[in-house]
Structure 1
Amino acid sequence: MSEPTIYEFIGGQDALRRLAEAHYRRCVTDPVLSQVFGTEPRPEHAVHLADWLGEVFEGPATYTAEHGGHEALLLHHAGKHITEEQRAAFVTAFVEAADETGVPDDPHLRARLTSYLEWGTRIAKDVSEADASDISSSDPVPTWGWREDQSPA
């Protein structure tokens, strides 16, 4: 029997949608994160985040098929000028949302989620300093598995 992917272990797309919705709710109500996300909810943001996470954690390639893939995600962050405080608050809000929505409290899973969040939010912060015209990528959506060698460097 093969080991489930992180996507499967978390509970698939429904679980990721609940997680993304709980996270996004924090983003628009937190005084630090609302500087980036605004205070007016955009429901499509949680849908996009859930689709992105699904693809990252080895689920279906929905983000690529429906939302434009890796380059589109980079473009969403361009020009946002994300601060270190905002980046760290995003990670904290995600962990809190994971707790709220019942993401398994498995230590290995939580370590892999945190590892991905730290890696991904640093890229988002770096990209946020660029103008959208400076960003292009033909890279696929990065995938994140259970082992460190199953993740981008």
Structure 2
Amino acid sequence: MLTLFYILSAITLATAFLTIFSKNPIHSAIYLVLCFFSIAGHYFMFNAQFLGIVHIIVYSGAIMILMLFTIMLMNLNKEDEKNKTLLSRLAAVVAFGLLGLVILATFIKSQPVIESYKVSGQDYQSIKVLGQVLLNDYMVPFEFASILLLVSMIGAVLLSKKEHINN
């Protein structure tokens, strides 16, 4: 089981880095789908089958289709992209490094919030309990996420519209 964890972790990290460093946006999206599938494999290893299946359906299915449509709609061509100056690239690297240091320091300094765990005896792997928690306690964040996705899709469509100049 530990070997399978290491294999899935290596696949997750490799496809995540390939997603970031890939020049072609379609290849990047395909690497992201592979990353999502390997993360779903981690859910299956943790005996959270429902979360694994939902992860595959929602992320690998719906979100990636939305991203691919957005990429194709925006028609990203390398010829149209302006070259970045050395100063802007250096500023991006410095900003990324500083952000990484802040996140690393946050993880190092953070302390666990819960010192002891109490067993309630309730099965949180049950779909019934998960549905009640999701649609009762977390209904508003769930709806905000759907509105955010809708607004981002509309924004991508509006950004990709070509303006016609009438002469």
* TM-score, length-scaled by structure 2: 0.30
* Rg (Cα) greater in structure: 2
Q: Which has the higher contact order (CA 8 A, sep 6+)?
A: 1
Higher helix share: 2
TM-score normalized by the length of structure 1:
0.32
